Amino acid sequence: MKKIALAASAFALIAALLLPVDGAAPAKVTDLLDAKQLATEAKAKAVKLGESMADEDAFKRALEFKTIATDAGVIACLAQALVEHEQGEASGIAAASLRDAALTLSKAKQLDDAKTGLAAVEAALAGKKTGAASDYPWNKLINMHRMMEEMEYREGRLRRTLRRPRTLERDSSHATVLTVLALAMEADTHEVKDEKNLPKWKTWSQDYRSNVAKLGLAMKANKAEEASKYFEASNKVCADCHAQFRD
């Protein structure tokens, strides 16, 4: 009997070690996200970051509006999703290195540091590995306020697309980014001051994620009406959660 109990507990320990409880996203990213879109969006953000470092004036504006922290934080989220995605390797991106480079860049306050940070981001996008660890906590990838601003921006872009739905498939990548951000949102519960409200945070984060994931699928299938339905449902979750935790 003792032997069996020992074997069972050893098995449980091994299982616990194999399952990346802290490091993994709240949902299985392979089932949820399109790896190609993650890669494309990470590259697009790197181009935008380059523009915000074109000269001192551009950089000053970027610091003022905190877009370096936002854009690099979004890359960190996309990168971690690629780390955990079964098709992540195929993107050719050194995803864990990209995440770490983006996190460093997100904190840059001087143009020189930002340029060094962006060079590391670009190297990782081109596949250069730095020995970064795979696991990383999802609640430490992006600042909550920066994430909210990105969500507001992408929801605005989607609203415009859905009003005149001609580029649904192309613009479905906004929904993909929002799905990734929803994972980071679910993991980052620091705004919940009373523990008994944790389930609400989780439920709204998951509702939001499920709506934007379905929105993305409807857009890819060029189903405008269905897409609008999920878009409106996602917007309702913003308001519900704000009423409880922000306002």
Residues near ligand HEC (CB under 6 A): 144-145, 148-149, 151-152, 155, 185, 191, 201, 204-205, 208, 234, 237-238, 241-242, 245-246
Comparing CB distances to ligand HEC, the nearer of 79 and 158 is 158
Which of 70, 54, 44 minimizes the C-alpha distance to 115? Answer: 54
Contacts 24+ apart (CB under 8 A), 127-132: 127/92, 127/93, 127/94, 128/94, 128/97, 129/94, 129/96, 129/97, 130/94, 130/97, 130/100, 130/101, 131/97, 132/94, 132/96, 132/97, 132/99, 132/100
- Smallest distance, Å, CB 210 to ligand HEC? 12
- Smallest distance, Å, CB 166 to ligand HEC? 23
Comparing CB distances to ligand HEC, the nearer of 116 and 197 is 197
Comparing CB distances to ligand HEC, the nearer of 99 and 146 is 146
- Smallest distance, Å, CB 237 to ligand HEC? 5
* DSSP code at position 79: H
Comparing CB distances to ligand HEC, the nearer of 149 and 226 is 149
- Smallest distance, Å, CB 148 to ligand HEC? 3
